[in-house]
Structure 1
Amino acid sequence: MQEPIAPAAADDAPPHVPKDETPLFLFVCKDGPAGPARRVEHLEGHLAHVEAHWRRYVVAGPMRRPGETALCGSYFLVRAADAEEAWCVMRGDPYITSDLYADIALTEITPSIGLWVGGKIWADAASIAHRATGG
């Protein structure tokens, strides 16, 4: 078992960066029982779709359970003005139209901290406390 990653040193605190106001929608798609066969059958169409719309995805790819090689689903982080526009991008994907996925969960997200964000979006806890209750 690997050792846990040590927390950053005090002098390596994340910088404060402006919040990106671009709406982002996370689709978490879990394969149905016909997953492997449907993935193979619709792979070329799926790849053509995601390549044609690649600028709409922040990131996307297959999912696996930890320690397994078999795919169990896909995730897509989509840039869109609203959920309906995000669904418009997704509805054209053959993986969606072929009913590959037994379950699709859609969540709007706010990137708040990390390498991708470039730091953290808050100055201190008081500056974002209102968000904890949905404000």
Structure 2
Amino acid sequence: MLYMFHCTDKAGASQLRVDNRPAHLAYLESNADRIFVAGPLLSDDGQGMVGSLLIVDCADEAAAKAFADGDPYAKAGLFETVEIRAWRRVYPKA
């Protein structure tokens, strides 16, 4: 089942994001076969990163939580909030 992860960075944590980005990208690469889409949420001016949005194939809610907890960004304490929801693709049709 696909799960959506909406992660919002803590205010003033841009350096924490920069410092942990290589490990985060390596984590995504190690799970590439499960990732439907992933990328940063941008600031209003489009210049800064203020969070992350991912859609990942996970067996169940517990596996989705484990995926989120394993992200180096989460381990570093980057996120203020992480919302995880089951998600279904409608368009474009697969």
CA distance in structure 1 between the partners assigned to 2:77 and 2:60 by the alignment: 23
State which structure, 1 or 2, has the greater radius of gyration over its C-alpha atoms.
1
Q: TM-score, normalised by structure 1?
A: 0.64
CA contact (8 A) 1:28 1:104 kept: yes
Q: Report runs of 4+ in structure 1 exceeding 3 Å deviation.
A: none
Higher normalized strand content (fraction of residues):
2
Residue 77 of structure 2 aligns to a residue whose secondary structure is coil
Letter in 1 for 2:32: W
SS in 2 for 1:30: strand
Separation (CA, whole Å) in 1 of partners of 2:25 and 2:82: 19
Mapping of 1:1-135 within 5 angstroms? 23-114=1-92, 117-118=93-94
Structure 1 residue 66 displacement after superposition = 4.4
* Root mean square deviation of aligned Cα: 1.4
- Secondary structure in structure 1 of the residue aligned to 2:14: helix
| Structure 2 length-normalised TM | 0.89
Question: Greater relative contact order: 1 or 2 (C-alpha under 8 angstroms, separation 6 or more)?
Answer: 2
> Alignment identity in percent?
28
